[in-house]
């Protein structure tokens, strides 16, 4: 990864003052260790008229895989590529943003004891990034940087110059120019917007990322026209963190408009007297709907198919009416996490006899899954490639054939209500499809007819009058008419 920052000057105000502002001497080439490789700082040119500082980040791919494993989206920057073959060593991303903040930490804060007046003054600045991932294209790059006082040139990089008919890649060559910004402001813009454009982070996004975002966004993010997109992408679309960031930014905007301090605005209710209830997360509403359907069915022995990390299995285990619960997942790692969640290694003998975790694929028949009262496919079918859906349908409805099957899946129509979800995108990178309400009902009706079930549909979450609920659920029960004929 490579980035350069250039400025111009005169004999009275030499451009080499950039070295003081960055706290890196122009006559030296320096190297700094990072958690994923080595950052090099050097100056390709440095005289009174023009000075350029270069940051070269040399990625260690082995360290990237080891440290990224299991840490959110960064653990697999591009799921379609092998772990060691991806764009992380070459394209500007959150890796470069973190290196920028580590190597130029004082400059990022605007601190320079040797040249304080230069640190506080605007400079003629030119920033170049040869390879920048831009999910949203050159137009999004301009929408992000132009309102901050930059003149933006974002040239698309062709997929292959030998085959121009293939079109452009998602990368751009970025050139930013401005004479209105301080160096600290420029660095803070880059720190936030590089990972926003890449739309991925190489580390797990925790609650302290909100503070980092607001510190780096001080003075510009609250009034940015793309504030919602920036906060959502920077915080990896974690809704609770995004909401928290937006609320705090709104307070900043109101305080600035009123020429007041944030503390003077945000004082209507003391922390200890806050009584407003937070909205119930969709995942909780989904589990409650599933448990209600299972409770109505009278099931005692339940399959949690595609159990993932065991949240539903754990909820079932807390209810004594379920005498046997089997969690099934193809991922051994997910099952290991579920085992830790359930504390199987410390569970009493009687309780342990009620629950079992098994590895298996839902697109193959499995004799172990026959004879159960109910099965749950919670947010599972959308992860299956459409050509393999018939195999899953037969394995569950035809072969295992529980009396009750509960299926939940996203409602694609509701996606327009997620402000952080780009148009045309599915909610999760591994979703092979997402059904509209009509498509889901047609699929459920066909499955019910084919295997002798009856389907009842339930809305999960707030039911929008225009686009319906965020989650749709179908409860299949074996048709009493078909059962009577079989008898």
What is the pLDDT confidence band of residue 269, given thresholds at 50, 70 and 90?
A: very low
The CA–CA distances, whole Å, from 18 to 50, 82, 116, 149, 376 equal 10, 40, 12, 20, 62
- How confident is the model at residue 206, as a pLDDT? 76
- pLDDT (tens digit per residue) in 295-338: 999 999 999 999 999 999 999 999 999 999 999 999 998 999 99
Average pLDDT over residues 123-148: 95
pLDDT at 178: 96
Closest CA to 59 of 15, 13, 25, 92: 92
Question: With bands split at pLDDT 50, 70 and 90, how would you rate the model's confidence at 74?
Answer: very low
CA 314, CA 309: separation in Å to the nearest integer? 9
Q: How confident is the model at residue 400 (pLDDT cuts 50, 70, 90)?
A: very high
Query: Which H/E stretch holds residue 483?
Result: helix 480-486
pLDDT band with cut points at 50, 70 and 90 for residue 81: very low
As a whole-number percent, the residues of the chain with pLDDT over 70 amount to: 86
Q: What is the pLDDT of residue 427?
A: 86
The pLDDT > 90 percentage for the chain reads: 65
pTM: 0.54
Is 60 exceeded by the pLDDT of residue 261?
no
Q: How many CB atoms lie within 10 A of CB 345?
A: 8
If one compares 214 and 203, the residue with the highest pLDDT of the two is 214
Contact indicator for 81, 61 with CB cutoff of 8 Å:
no
Average pLDDT over residues 438-448: 97
- Cα separation, 452 vs 475, whole angstroms: 13
């Amino acid at each position: 990864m490579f980035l350069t920052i250039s400025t111009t000057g005169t004999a009275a105000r030499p451009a080499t003052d950039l070295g003081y502002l960055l706290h890196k001497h122009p006559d030296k080439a320096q190297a700094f260790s990072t958690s994923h490789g080595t950052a090099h700082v050097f100056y390709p040119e440095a005289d009174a008229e023009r000075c350029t500082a270069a940051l070269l980040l040399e990625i260690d791919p082995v360290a990237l895989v080891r440290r990224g494993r299991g840490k959110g989206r960064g653990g697999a920057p591009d799921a379609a590529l092998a772990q060691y073959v991806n764009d992380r060593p070459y394209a500007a991303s959150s890796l470069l943003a973190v290196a920028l903040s580590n190597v130029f930490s004082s400059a990022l804060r605007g601190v320079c004891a040797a040249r304080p007046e230069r640190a506080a003054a605007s400079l003629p600045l030119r920033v170049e990034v040869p390879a920048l991932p831009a999910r949203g294209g050159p137009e999004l790059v301009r929408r992000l940087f132009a309102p901050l006082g930059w003149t933006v040139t974002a040239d698309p990089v062709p997929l292959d110059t030998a085959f121009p008919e293939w079109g452009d890649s998602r990368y751009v060559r970025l050139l930013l120019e401005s004479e209105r910004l301080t160096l600290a402001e420029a660095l803070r813009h880059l720190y936030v917007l590089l990972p926003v454009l890449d739309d991925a982070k190489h580390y797990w996004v925790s609650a302290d990322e909100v503070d980092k975002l607001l510190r780096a966004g001080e003075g510009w993010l609250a009034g940015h026209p793309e504030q919602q997109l920036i906060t959502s992408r920077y915080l990896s679309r974690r809704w609770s963190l995004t909401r928290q960031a937006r609320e705090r930014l709104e307070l900043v905007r109101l305080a600035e408009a009123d020429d007041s301090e944030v503390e003077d605005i945000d004082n209507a209710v003391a922390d200890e007297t806050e009584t407003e209830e937070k909205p119930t997360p969709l995942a909780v509403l989904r589990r409650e709907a599933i448990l209600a359907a299972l409770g109505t069915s009278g099931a005692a022995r339940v399959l949690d198919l595609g159990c993932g990390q065991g949240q539903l299995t754990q909820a079932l285990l807390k209810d004594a009416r379920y005498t046997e619960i089997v969690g099934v997942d193809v991922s051994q790692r997910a099952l290991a996490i579920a085992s830790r969640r359930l504390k199987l290694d410390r569970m009493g003998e009687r309780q342990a006899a009620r629950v079992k975790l098994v590895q298996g694929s839902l697109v193959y028949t499995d004799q172990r899954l026959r004879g159960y009262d109910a099965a749950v496919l919670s947010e599972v079918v959308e992860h299956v490639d459409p050509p393999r859906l018939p195999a899953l349908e037969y394995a569950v409805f035809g072969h295992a054939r529980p009396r009750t099957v509960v299926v939940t899946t996203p409602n694609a129509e509701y996606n327009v209500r997620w402000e952080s979800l780009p148009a045309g995108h599915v909610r999760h990178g591994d979703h092979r499809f997402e059904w509209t309400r009509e498509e889901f009902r047609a699929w459920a009706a066909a499955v019910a007819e084919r295997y002798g079930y009856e389907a009842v549909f339930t809305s999960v979450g707030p039911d929008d009058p225009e686009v319906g609920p965020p989650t749709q659920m179908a409860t299949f029960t074996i048709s009493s008419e078909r059962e009577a004929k079989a008898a």
